Amino acid sequence: MADLRRADLHMHSTASDGALKPSELMRKAYEAGLRCVALTDHDTISGLAEAKKAAKALGLDFISGVEISASVGEEEVHLLGYGFDPADERLSAHFTRLQEQRVERARHMVRKLQEAGVGITYDAVAEAAGGGAVGRPHVAAALIGAGVVADHHEAFQRFLSDGEIGFVPKPPFPASEALEALHRAAGVGVLAHPGHWTASHVLMSLIRDGLDGIEVVHPSHDEMLQNYYRRIAAQYDLLTTGGSDFHRESEKGRTRLGRHTIPYSYVDRLLTRLRQRRNAVHSD
Protein backbone atom coordinates (compact mmCIF):
# COMPACT_ATOMS: atom_id res chain seq x y z
CA MET A 1 0.00 0.00 0.00
CA ALA A 2 1.36 3.42 -0.96
CA ASP A 3 2.53 5.72 1.83
CA LEU A 4 0.41 8.84 1.42
CA ARG A 5 2.04 10.83 4.22
CA ARG A 6 3.51 14.13 3.09
CA ALA A 7 6.17 16.43 4.56
CA ASP A 8 7.11 20.10 4.29
CA LEU A 9 10.65 20.83 5.45
CA HIS A 10 10.83 24.56 4.68
CA MET A 11 8.69 27.11 6.52
CA HIS A 12 9.10 30.35 8.48
CA SER A 13 7.46 31.82 11.57
CA THR A 14 7.50 35.10 13.47
CA ALA A 15 10.87 34.04 14.87
CA SER A 16 12.20 35.45 11.58
CA ASP A 17 10.08 36.91 8.77
CA GLY A 18 6.96 34.73 8.83
CA ALA A 19 3.49 35.93 9.76
CA LEU A 20 2.47 33.10 12.13
CA LYS A 21 3.80 32.20 15.55
CA PRO A 22 5.57 28.82 15.63
CA SER A 23 2.63 27.12 17.36
CA GLU A 24 0.12 28.69 14.96
CA LEU A 25 2.21 27.52 12.02
CA MET A 26 2.19 23.95 13.32
CA ARG A 27 -1.60 24.08 13.57
CA LYS A 28 -1.84 25.32 9.98
CA ALA A 29 0.50 22.56 8.83
CA TYR A 30 -1.63 19.93 10.55
CA GLU A 31 -4.82 21.35 9.02
CA ALA A 32 -3.15 21.26 5.60
CA GLY A 33 -2.73 17.51 5.93
CA LEU A 34 1.00 17.44 6.60
CA ARG A 35 2.45 14.78 8.86
CA CYS A 36 6.11 15.84 9.09
CA VAL A 37 7.44 19.40 9.29
CA ALA A 38 10.60 21.38 9.89
CA LEU A 39 10.67 25.00 11.06
CA THR A 40 13.49 26.74 9.18
CA ASP A 41 13.62 30.36 10.29
CA HIS A 42 16.35 32.63 8.96
CA ASP A 43 19.56 32.47 11.03
CA THR A 44 17.73 31.71 14.26
CA ILE A 45 16.50 28.70 16.20
CA SER A 46 14.52 30.70 18.76
CA GLY A 47 11.18 29.32 17.55
CA LEU A 48 12.11 25.64 17.65
CA ALA A 49 11.08 24.86 21.23
CA GLU A 50 7.56 26.30 20.78
CA ALA A 51 7.13 24.63 17.40
CA LYS A 52 8.33 21.24 18.65
CA LYS A 53 5.94 21.31 21.61
CA ALA A 54 2.99 22.24 19.39
CA ALA A 55 3.91 19.64 16.77
CA LYS A 56 4.09 16.91 19.40
CA ALA A 57 0.65 17.82 20.75
CA LEU A 58 -0.77 17.57 17.22
CA GLY A 59 0.92 14.27 16.46
CA LEU A 60 3.21 15.79 13.81
CA ASP A 61 6.72 14.44 13.23
CA PHE A 62 9.08 17.36 13.82
CA ILE A 63 12.65 17.93 12.61
CA SER A 64 14.74 20.80 13.97
CA GLY A 65 15.66 23.21 11.21
CA VAL A 66 17.14 26.57 10.26
CA GLU A 67 17.90 28.52 7.08
CA ILE A 68 21.41 29.94 7.18
CA SER A 69 22.58 32.83 5.02
CA ALA A 70 26.05 31.86 3.78
CA SER A 71 28.46 32.58 0.96
CA VAL A 72 30.60 30.82 -1.62
CA GLY A 73 33.13 33.41 -2.70
CA GLU A 74 31.08 36.43 -3.75
CA GLU A 75 27.90 34.40 -4.19
CA GLU A 76 25.20 34.27 -1.51
CA VAL A 77 23.61 30.89 -0.82
CA HIS A 78 21.06 29.68 1.69
CA LEU A 79 21.62 26.44 3.55
CA LEU A 80 18.87 24.50 5.29
CA GLY A 81 20.19 22.84 8.43
CA TYR A 82 18.30 19.80 9.73
CA GLY A 83 18.41 17.53 12.75
CA PHE A 84 21.18 19.36 14.60
CA ASP A 85 21.36 19.62 18.39
CA PRO A 86 19.83 23.04 19.21
CA ALA A 87 21.80 23.08 22.48
CA ASP A 88 25.19 22.82 20.73
CA GLU A 89 27.18 25.76 22.10
CA ARG A 90 29.34 26.35 19.03
CA LEU A 91 26.36 26.34 16.69
CA SER A 92 24.47 28.66 19.04
CA ALA A 93 27.43 31.04 18.97
CA HIS A 94 27.16 31.18 15.18
CA PHE A 95 23.48 32.11 15.39
CA THR A 96 24.19 34.78 18.00
CA ARG A 97 26.77 36.33 15.70
CA LEU A 98 24.41 36.14 12.71
CA GLN A 99 21.65 37.89 14.70
CA GLU A 100 24.02 40.68 15.73
CA GLN A 101 25.02 41.13 12.10
CA ARG A 102 21.37 41.25 11.05
CA VAL A 103 20.67 44.06 13.52
CA GLU A 104 23.68 46.08 12.38
CA ARG A 105 22.74 45.54 8.73
CA ALA A 106 19.19 46.79 9.36
CA ARG A 107 20.52 49.82 11.25
CA HIS A 108 22.84 50.57 8.32
CA MET A 109 19.89 50.35 5.91
CA VAL A 110 17.89 52.78 8.02
CA ARG A 111 20.83 55.22 8.17
CA LYS A 112 21.23 55.11 4.38
CA LEU A 113 17.53 55.69 3.86
CA GLN A 114 17.47 58.56 6.37
CA GLU A 115 20.43 60.19 4.61
CA ALA A 116 18.41 59.97 1.39
CA GLY A 117 15.51 61.76 3.06
CA VAL A 118 13.33 58.71 3.73
CA GLY A 119 11.63 59.13 7.09
CA ILE A 120 11.80 55.81 8.91
CA THR A 121 13.43 54.77 12.18
CA TYR A 122 15.12 51.62 13.41
CA ASP A 123 12.55 51.44 16.23
CA ALA A 124 9.84 50.94 13.58
CA VAL A 125 11.91 48.15 12.01
CA ALA A 126 12.41 46.45 15.36
CA GLU A 127 8.69 46.74 16.11
CA ALA A 128 7.90 45.07 12.78
CA ALA A 129 10.29 42.24 13.66
CA GLY A 130 8.45 41.69 16.94
CA GLY A 131 11.49 40.25 18.67
CA GLY A 132 12.31 37.91 15.78
CA ALA A 133 15.34 37.89 13.51
CA VAL A 134 15.54 41.27 11.77
CA GLY A 135 15.64 41.32 7.97
CA ARG A 136 14.79 43.36 4.90
CA PRO A 137 11.07 42.46 5.09
CA HIS A 138 10.91 44.33 8.40
CA VAL A 139 12.57 47.40 6.85
CA ALA A 140 9.96 47.09 4.11
CA ALA A 141 7.23 46.97 6.77
CA ALA A 142 8.60 50.17 8.31
CA LEU A 143 8.52 51.85 4.89
CA ILE A 144 4.89 50.77 4.45
CA GLY A 145 3.99 51.98 7.93
CA ALA A 146 5.53 55.39 7.20
CA GLY A 147 3.48 55.68 4.02
CA VAL A 148 6.60 55.74 1.82
CA VAL A 149 5.52 52.70 -0.23
CA ALA A 150 2.30 50.80 -0.74
CA ASP A 151 3.56 47.25 -0.29
CA HIS A 152 6.59 44.99 0.11
CA HIS A 153 7.10 44.69 -3.65
CA GLU A 154 7.43 48.45 -4.05
CA ALA A 155 9.73 48.66 -1.01
CA PHE A 156 12.15 46.15 -2.48
CA GLN A 157 11.89 47.55 -6.01
CA ARG A 158 12.56 51.17 -5.01
CA PHE A 159 14.76 50.90 -1.94
CA LEU A 160 15.94 47.48 -0.76
CA SER A 161 17.10 45.44 -3.76
CA ASP A 162 20.75 45.21 -4.77
CA GLY A 163 21.75 48.53 -6.33
CA GLU A 164 19.02 50.61 -4.66
CA ILE A 165 19.72 53.31 -2.08
CA GLY A 166 18.76 51.27 0.97
CA PHE A 167 20.54 48.04 0.08
CA VAL A 168 23.30 46.74 2.33
CA PRO A 169 24.97 43.41 1.52
CA LYS A 170 25.11 40.69 4.13
CA PRO A 171 28.50 40.08 5.79
CA PRO A 172 30.14 37.00 4.27
CA PHE A 173 29.75 33.72 6.17
CA PRO A 174 31.60 30.97 4.28
CA ALA A 175 29.32 28.02 3.54
CA SER A 176 32.19 25.71 4.46
CA GLU A 177 32.07 27.08 8.02
CA ALA A 178 28.29 26.76 8.18
CA LEU A 179 28.42 23.14 7.02
CA GLU A 180 31.19 22.34 9.49
CA ALA A 181 29.17 23.85 12.35
CA LEU A 182 26.08 21.85 11.38
CA HIS A 183 28.08 18.63 11.12
CA ARG A 184 29.71 19.16 14.53
CA ALA A 185 26.20 19.54 15.98
CA ALA A 186 25.15 16.21 14.38
CA GLY A 187 23.10 17.93 11.69
CA VAL A 188 23.09 18.04 7.91
CA GLY A 189 23.23 20.91 5.43
CA VAL A 190 21.03 21.17 2.34
CA LEU A 191 21.22 23.78 -0.43
CA ALA A 192 17.96 25.77 -0.40
CA HIS A 193 16.04 26.67 -3.59
CA PRO A 194 18.97 26.52 -6.03
CA GLY A 195 16.64 27.45 -8.90
CA HIS A 196 18.08 28.60 -12.23
CA TRP A 197 20.53 30.98 -10.59
CA THR A 198 22.97 28.70 -8.74
CA ALA A 199 26.09 28.38 -10.88
CA SER A 200 27.64 24.94 -11.36
CA HIS A 201 30.93 26.01 -9.77
CA VAL A 202 29.04 27.15 -6.64
CA LEU A 203 27.22 23.83 -6.36
CA MET A 204 30.44 21.86 -6.90
CA SER A 205 32.21 23.94 -4.25
CA LEU A 206 29.43 23.17 -1.77
CA ILE A 207 29.62 19.46 -2.55
CA ARG A 208 33.39 19.48 -1.97
CA ASP A 209 32.77 21.23 1.37
CA GLY A 210 30.44 18.45 2.54
CA LEU A 211 26.97 19.47 1.34
CA ASP A 212 24.49 16.75 2.34
CA GLY A 213 21.56 17.48 0.08
CA ILE A 214 19.62 19.67 -2.35
CA GLU A 215 16.16 21.14 -1.93
CA VAL A 216 14.47 19.70 -5.02
CA VAL A 217 10.83 20.65 -4.37
CA HIS A 218 10.23 24.39 -4.03
CA PRO A 219 7.62 26.83 -5.38
CA SER A 220 10.25 28.31 -7.70
CA HIS A 221 11.15 24.92 -9.21
CA ASP A 222 9.18 23.65 -12.18
CA GLU A 223 9.17 19.96 -13.08
CA MET A 224 12.23 20.35 -15.31
CA LEU A 225 14.28 21.85 -12.48
CA GLN A 226 13.09 19.22 -10.01
CA ASN A 227 14.19 16.44 -12.36
CA TYR A 228 17.53 18.18 -12.99
CA TYR A 229 18.36 18.46 -9.29
CA ARG A 230 17.20 14.91 -8.62
CA ARG A 231 19.76 13.73 -11.18
CA ILE A 232 22.48 15.83 -9.56
CA ALA A 233 21.55 14.45 -6.14
CA ALA A 234 21.67 10.88 -7.40
CA GLN A 235 25.03 11.46 -9.09
CA TYR A 236 26.66 12.74 -5.89
CA ASP A 237 24.69 10.68 -3.35
CA LEU A 238 22.96 13.73 -1.91
CA LEU A 239 19.71 13.89 0.02
CA THR A 240 16.65 15.35 -1.68
CA THR A 241 14.33 17.57 0.36
CA GLY A 242 11.66 20.16 -0.28
CA GLY A 243 8.90 22.35 1.02
CA SER A 244 6.71 25.38 0.56
CA ASP A 245 9.08 28.09 1.89
CA PHE A 246 5.93 29.32 3.62
CA HIS A 247 5.95 32.81 5.14
CA ARG A 248 2.30 33.89 5.10
CA GLU A 249 -1.03 33.29 3.46
CA SER A 250 -1.57 35.15 0.20
CA GLU A 251 -3.78 38.22 0.01
CA LYS A 252 -6.57 36.03 -1.38
CA GLY A 253 -6.47 33.84 1.70
CA ARG A 254 -4.70 30.96 -0.02
CA THR A 255 -1.78 29.18 1.51
CA ARG A 256 0.97 27.13 -0.05
CA LEU A 257 1.04 24.78 2.92
CA GLY A 258 0.19 21.33 1.61
CA ARG A 259 0.85 22.26 -2.03
CA HIS A 260 4.64 21.83 -2.20
CA THR A 261 5.46 18.67 -0.30
CA ILE A 262 7.76 15.66 -0.38
CA PRO A 263 7.05 11.96 0.22
CA TYR A 264 8.10 10.16 3.38
CA SER A 265 10.77 8.27 1.43
CA TYR A 266 12.72 11.55 1.37
CA VAL A 267 12.21 11.97 5.11
CA ASP A 268 13.34 8.40 5.80
CA ARG A 269 16.60 8.99 3.91
CA LEU A 270 17.14 12.21 5.85
CA LEU A 271 16.54 10.49 9.20
CA THR A 272 18.93 7.68 8.26
CA ARG A 273 21.64 10.20 7.37
CA LEU A 274 21.04 12.02 10.66
CA ARG A 275 21.45 8.80 12.64
CA GLN A 276 24.72 8.19 10.85
CA ARG A 277 25.89 11.73 11.62
CA ARG A 278 24.97 11.41 15.32
CA ASN A 279 26.84 8.11 15.56
CA ALA A 280 29.88 9.66 13.93
CA VAL A 281 29.83 12.69 16.24
CA HIS A 282 29.42 10.56 19.38
CA SER A 283 32.23 8.22 18.37
CA ASP A 284 34.74 11.06 18.00
Number of domain units in the chain? 2
* Mean residue pLDDT across the chain: 94
CA distances from 47 to 5, 38, 54, 125, 249 (A): 25, 11, 11, 20, 19
pLDDT at 284 over 70: no
Same domain, 245 and 261: yes
98-125 residue pLDDT tens = 889 999 999 999 999 999 999 999 999 9
Same domain, 155 and 261: no
pLDDT band at 252 (very low <50, low <70, confident <90, very high): low
d(CA 110, CA 118) in angstroms, rounded, equals: 9
Same domain, 186 and 107: no
pLDDT band at 132 (very low <50, low <70, confident <90, very high): confident
Overall average pLDDT of the 230-236 stretch: 98
pLDDT at 254 over 70: no
Pick the last residue of a domain from 136, 160, 184. 160
- Domain-embedded: residue 167: no
191-216 residue pLDDT tens = 999 999 899 999 999 999 999 999 99
- By residue range, what is the domain housing residue 142? 96-160
